[in-house]
Amino acid sequence: MSVTAAPALLDRDGLNALVSALVAQGRTVIGPTVRDGAIVLAELDSADALPFGWGVELDAGRYRLVRREDGAAFAHSAGPQSWKNFLHPARERLWSAERTPEGDVSFTPQEPAVPSYAFLGVRPCDLRAIAIQGRVLTGGRHADGGYAGRRERALIVAVECTEPGAACFCVSTGGGPAVDPGYDLALTEVDGRFLVRVGSDEGAALLEQVPHRGAGPDVEESARAAVDSARERMGRALPPVDLRALMGASLTAERWDDVAARCLTCGNCTMVCPTCFCTTTEEVTDLTGDHTERWQRWDSCFDLDFSYLHGGPVRSSPRSRYRQWLTHKLGTWHDQFGTSGCVGCGRCIAWCPAGIDITEEVAALDTERAARGTETD
Mean per-residue pLDDT for 336-354? 96
Mean per-residue pLDDT for 247-261? 96
pLDDT band at 22 (very low <50, low <70, confident <90, very high): very high
pLDDT band at 152 (very low <50, low <70, confident <90, very high): very high
Kindly report the pTM of this predicted structure: 0.93
The pLDDT mean for the chain works out to 94
Q: Please say if the pLDDT value at position 143 is more than 60.
A: yes
Mean per-residue pLDDT for 340-345? 97
Q: What is the pLDDT of residue 140?
A: 83
Q: How many CB atoms lie within 10 A of CB 251?
A: 10
Tell me what percent of the residues of the chain surpass a pLDDT of 90: 87
Dist CA 351 CA 56 (whole Å): 13
Could you tell me the CA-to-CA distances from 79 to 21, 173, 235 in Å, in that order?
Answer: 26, 19, 16
Q: pLDDT tens-digit profile of 214-249?
A: 888 899 999 999 999 999 999 899 999 999 999 999
Q: pLDDT tens-digit profile of 93-114?
A: 999 999 988 889 999 999 998 9
Contacts with 26 (C-beta within 8 Å, 6 or more apart), sequence order = 116
Q: Please say if the pLDDT value at position 78 is more than 90.
A: no
Residue of 235 and 362 predicted with greater confidence: 362
Q: What is the pLDDT of residue 1?
A: 46
Q: What is the pLDDT of residue 102?
A: 87
Burial label, 49 (beta-carbon count in 10 A; 0-12, 13-18, 19+):
middle
Q: pLDDT tens-digit profile of 35-76?
A: 999 999 999 999 999 999 999 999 999 999 999 989 999 999
pLDDT band at 6 (very low <50, low <70, confident <90, very high): confident
Q: Please say if the pLDDT value at position 377 is more than 60.
A: no
pLDDT band at 4 (very low <50, low <70, confident <90, very high): low
Q: pLDDT tens-digit profile of 168-185?
A: 999 999 998 999 999 999
Diameter of the chain measured on Cα atoms = 77
Q: Please say if the pLDDT value at position 27 is more than 90.
A: yes
| Best CA proximity match to 126, nearest among 91, 165, 159 | 159
DSSP characters over 351-370: T-TT---HHHHHHHHHHHHH
| Best CA proximity match to 273, nearest among 204, 211, 358 | 358
User: What is the domain partition of the chain in residue ranges?
Assistant: 8-231, 243-372
How many whole angstroms from its chain centre is CA 324?
20
According to DSSP H, which parts of the chain are helical? 12-24, 84-87, 124-138, 145-153, 201-208, 217-231, 243-248, 255-262, 268-272, 318-327, 333-337, 347-350, 358-372
Q: pLDDT tens-digit profile of 266-325?
A: 999 999 999 999 999 999 999 988 999 999 999 999 999 999 888 888 999 999 999 999
Contact 124, 170 (CB under 8 A): yes
